[in-house]
A = this chain, B = another copy of it.
Amino acid sequence: MAPNLLKQAYPWIKTPLIIGAPMRLISLAPLAVEASRAGGIGFIGSGTDTSNLEHILQHAQSLLSAHPIPNSPTTTLPIGIGFINWGASLPIALPLIARFKPAAVWFFAPSSLTSLVEWTTATRAASPATKIWIQIGSVAAALEVTTACRPDVLVVQGTDAGGHGLVKGAGIVSLLPEVADALANLGAEAPLLVAAGGIAEARGAAAALALGADGVVIGTRMLASPEANIAAGYKREVVRARDGGQTTVRTKVYDMVRGTTGWGKDYDGRAVVNRSFVDAGNGMWEEENKRLYEAEIEKGDDGWGVEGRMTTYAGAAVGLVTEIKGAADIVEEVREGTVRVLEGLKGEAKSKL
């Protein structure tokens, strides 16, 4: 999809485009709608479980009907839906895609390339106006997925991202330009690229545009919003944590204690280091670590923190998240800040030193 077609597909957006990540069971109707309402694109994080998706979409539709987003299209719902394809049910999702016509679907972590092609083909047939976004974390996957699925948008996820992604990876500073170069021979046929991973504010967003991104995904930052569907203890931990390169880690330990074990071997998740991770490193048996995790749930908000066991999925940019703020305000702040950074840069590059 050529860049000018994105604004045609999403007439309510403002640029630079800020996108709310489809955080599984965290980004529900309120967060997705507020991100779009601010001129971004919000995504519902349906994830691996499609059983409640109809209810979530009805909620989004009612929020949008009550307070329509200016310039939103009549043919599609001005939000997207994110699926974690290895777990999501296509038979459940497909009729909902056909009925609600989301502006985008975001596919991630399919069980196979064949399955991804199936989802893509079925979605295009069910809702031709819905754009196909596919998340990848390597140059090899970018080439493979683009050839097989011809997505409208590739979400290029760097290894600084919070939550799930590839065990091995590069930051967007290296990954995004190499993906762009690898796809350059496709010309106007190449997908748009949006950058995800490690971006929490305007400087990171401006950097992503410099790298060649057509839009910028924020995830961890959105955890610290009233709209995020997580416990107060989780939000408090996101606001507290600093120096994310040292205090977060990519690991499979949190999947183990939580029992979310359907992820393929190439995937793990980035989260703040806590007792579950430390104990696993010290050789604690999985059964015991899992038992302690389940007992910790009883503690409620007090179960989060360095000495707690509730999982704080968050990216390496968690240290840049220092306050709770409304999702729409976050989108506006990042977008307007990005413009200021870019305006400042031209002169700065020539005069600063």
Chain A: residues with CB nearer than 8 A to chain B? 3-4, 6-7, 13, 15-17, 137-140, 158-160, 166, 168-178, 180-181, 197-201, 203-204, 206-212, 214-215, 242-246, 249, 315-317, 319-320, 338-339, 341-343, 345-346, 348-353
Instruction: List 17 A–B pairs whose Cβ atoms lie within 8 Å, in order of A's numbering.
Output: A13-B353, A15-B353, A139-B242, A139-B243, A158-B171, A160-B171, A170-B245, A174-B198, A174-B244, A177-B204, A178-B243, A181-B320, A204-B211, A207-B207, A210-B210, A338-B349, A345-B346
Give chain B nearest CB distance to A71 CB in angstroms: 13
Copy tally for this chain in the complex stands at: 2
The answer for the CA separation of A211 and B350 in the assembled complex, in Å, is 16
Distance between Cα atoms of A201 and B212 in the complex (Å): 12
- In the assembled complex, which residues on chain B have CB atoms less than 8 Å from the CB atom of A351? 15
For chain A, what secondary structure do more than half of its interface residues adopt (helix, strand, loop), or is it mixed?
Answer: helix
| Smallest CB gap from A339: residue in B | B349
CB A160 to nearest CB in B, in angstroms, measures 5
| Distance A4 CA – B353 CA, assembled complex (angstroms) | 5
**Are B244 and A352 in contact, CB atoms less than 8 angstroms apart?**
no
Given known pairs A177-B204, A211-B207, the reply for A170 and B353 (CB within 8 Å) is no
Decide: A3 and B353 in contact? CB cutoff 8 A. Answer: yes
A275 to chain B, nearest CB (A): 18
Contact between B198 and A173, CB atoms less than 8 A apart: yes
B174 near A200: Cβ-Cβ < 8 Å: yes
Residues in B whose Cβ lies below 8 Å from that of A316? 170-171, 174-175
Inside 8 A of A211's CB, which chain B residues have their CB? Answer: 203-204, 206-207
- Determine if A170 and B181 form an interchain contact, defined as CB atoms under 8 angstroms apart: no
Q: Are A7 and B198 in contact (CB under 8 A)?
A: no
Given contacts A212-B203, A214-B352, contact A172 B174 (CB under 8 A): no
